[in-house]
Amino acid sequence: MKGLFITFEGTEGSGKSTQAVLLVDRLRDWGHTVRLFREPGGTPIGEEIRHTLKHSHANVAMTPEAELLLMNASRAQLVREQIRPGLARGEIIICDRFYDSTTAYQGYGRQLDLETVRRIIEFAVGPTRPDLTLLLNVSPEVSAERLRSRQATLPFVRDRLEEGDRAFFERVAEGYRAIAAQEAKRVHTIEASGNQEAVQAAIWQVVLPLIARLPRPMERAAGTPAY
Q: What is the pLDDT of residues 40-55, one digit of tens each?
A: 999 999 999 999 999 9
CA 80 to chain centroid: 17
pLDDT exceeds 50 at position 2: yes
Crossing angle of helices 64-78/114-125, nearest 10°? 20
Query: What number is the average pLDDT over the span 17-33?
Result: 97
pLDDT per position as a tens digit, 125-136 = 999 999 999 999
Decide: 96 and 12 in contact? Cβ < 8 Å: no
- pLDDT, residue 153, reads 64
Nearest to 105 by CA among 8, 1, 204, 9: 9
Residue 220 banded pLDDT, cuts 50, 70, 90: very low
pLDDT exceeds 60 at position 111: yes
Record the pTM.
0.91
Decide: 87 and 3 in contact? Cβ < 8 Å: yes
Q: Looking at the chain, how many residues does it have?
A: 227
CATH of span 4-212: 3.40.50.300
**Vertex 33: Cα angle to 94 and 199 (nearest 5):** 45
Domain residue spans of the chain: 4-212
Can you tell me the distance from the alpha carbon of 96 to that of 58, in angstroms, rounded to the nearest whole number? Answer: 25
